[in-house]
Chain A
Amino acid sequence: MYQSKWRIFTNHTILVLGALFMILPVWIAFASSTHTREYVFQNGLQFWPGGEFFSNYGAILFDAEATKGRVTALEMLFNSMVLGLGFAIGKVIISMMAAYAIVYFRFKLAVPLFWIIFSTLLLPLEVRIVPSYEVVADLGLLNSYTGLILPLIASATGTFFFRQFYRSVPDELLEAARLDGAGPIRFFIDILVPLSVTMIAAIFIIMFVVGWNQYLWPLLMTTDDQLYTIVIGIKQVYNSLYEGGQIPQFPKAFALTIMATIPPVLVVVIFQRMFVKGLVETEK
């Protein structure tokens, strides 16, 4: 296709500016995280990395004192990992099963149950946090991984995605499987699940990132430091920045921010094709 020289030039200029717009804040945070706190306090945010990379990140990772609590960033990363994986795995399994029942079976309560699942789309967790918190407290699940993960899974986005996908699977497969004498559980495990592998991977990646980045719910749920995810840790460090009349610990706050960002960004960049496919196809 014909493109003028000028058009090509402006295209690249605009895209480079766009990329800088996205990257610069994170880069400045990274560069500033590699200086001493006195230096950043006196000279402001830094564009070039300094020499304190290992001491700042080392302190954050292994010394609970640096993160202003009783947990190190390493433990927070572990909690985030549990939340991300637990959320993704739980959501994929539960929604695959529910969608299977809805698409492949004729049963009495199909319509009302479908509407119950659908109704969850109307009320995001953010809207019902206060009563949700009370329910979880009544069940004695505060400060537990179960209480952290299960309420987040109670939404239908995954179910709708798999419902859509199953409906695109040719009917002939089911007919053939039935002729061969496969029952419903056999068909699900031996045919439908293997067929869905790429879809499962795509939705898994998205859900992992969504789970890792959860903020409001873990904030309410975890009063015990031991269960802090790294995203919650950021808020704690940020809140205590100006405490105690000392020089604010900006570099370590930035170091924690960078560490919270790296895992989900890596996942998205490495599995880019799968991720984009999943995102574009689920949300339609």
Chain B
Amino acid sequence: MKRVQFEHSAVPYLFIAPQILIISIFFLWPAAQALYQSFLLEDAFGLSSQFVWFRNFEDVLSSSSWTRSAIFTVVFSVLVSVLSIAISLFLAVRADEVIRGAKTYKTLLMWGYAIAPPVAGLLGNMMFNPLMGDLYKAFNSFGFEFNHIQNANDAAFVVILIAVWKQVSVNFIFFLSGLQGIPKSVQEAATLDCKSPERRFWTITFPLLAPTTFFLLVINLTYAFFETFGIIDVSTKGAPGGSTATLVYKVYVDGFLGADMGGSAAQSVLLMIMVSVLTVFQFRFIERKVHY
């Protein structure tokens, strides 16, 4: 905090009021409701409800569809994060070395940030459209029996590919700025000591980028958890049979389309707990990074 501060009774409240007001109405109130609803069981017509303690949670945790969705979410998130981080790191290292056309490459690789997830979903969907999709035809002409409409693994492949494609540019931006932050003197010293670019990367550059990588891992996991909703809703819609539905997509399907308020609220609360853990983790890491 600041050494010098204003001592004023009313002004700070005036300044902070708009944010607190919006947060109270559109954040605290709904969050409290989610918590409350997660302990309620509504009858089929939504007319009456009774307090059932943790029954909704027990139902959710013991249902095979939730467990399957949770497993898919974890596998999906890890694969999307690792793949998109690896691809963008690879590209960023090359983009950092290149002298001619550096700016053009940078622009060509970073503009994807602006693509909306459902747009990415629609593009992927068309590429894999059995009627005319180029990728669908290509895979099948190579002899794979590719069918993402019926095969759960193929469907997962499609969703992962789209999610990775959409996320490469964000990671690229962070890695490139991380690489450009490494002092020239360090790079030159490394070149003198070690001729092989590959070894130089693993012994010097990669350790120096470790904080960026770790930070991006958290960002990417959050992205795979939440922001892929638009991708899934326009590509597979969780099909076949809910095998590509992430937990967030399932909250939406159960709560809005299935009108199971208590169950959906319990799922929300479980998600809140997971995100809280992830966020606390991220903040501890950032605090540490600030000190060093």
Contact = CB atoms under 8 A, between A and B. Distances in A.
Contact of A284 (B234, B271, B286): B286
A45 B126 contact: yes
Determine which residue in B94, B119, B252 has the highest number of CB atoms from chain A within 10 A of its CB, and name it. Answer: B119
Given A41-B132, A122-B276, A130 B22 contact: no
B153 interface: no
Contacts of B42: none
B23 A11 contact: no
A117 interface: yes
Given A171-B2, A178-B4, A250-B132, 11 more contacts: A15-B91, A21-B168, A95-B19, A107-B8, A110-B12, A113-B20, A127-B268, A156-B23, A159-B19, A264-B115, A272-B110
Contact of B134 (A45, A133, A150): A45
A260 B170 CA distance: 19
A98 to B, nearest CB: 4
Contact of A25 (B3, B114, B123, B191): B123
A252 to B, nearest CB: 12
Contact of B229 (A95, A126, A178, A257): A126
Contact of B116 (A15, A136, A212): A212
A150 B22 contact: yes
B123 A268 contact: no
B279 interface: yes
B34 A131 contact: yes
Contacts of A279: 113, 170, 173-174
A14 B94 contact: yes
List of 9 A-B pairs having minimum Cβ-Cβ separation, nearest first? A44-B132, A105-B12, A213-B116, A131-B30, A264-B114, A98-B19, A101-B15, A131-B33, A215-B230
Nearest to B192: A2
A131 B134 CA distance: 41
A7 B198 CA distance: 11
A105 B11 contact: yes
Nearest to A172: B4
5 contacts: A97-B18, A127-B275, A219-B233, A250-B126, A276-B173
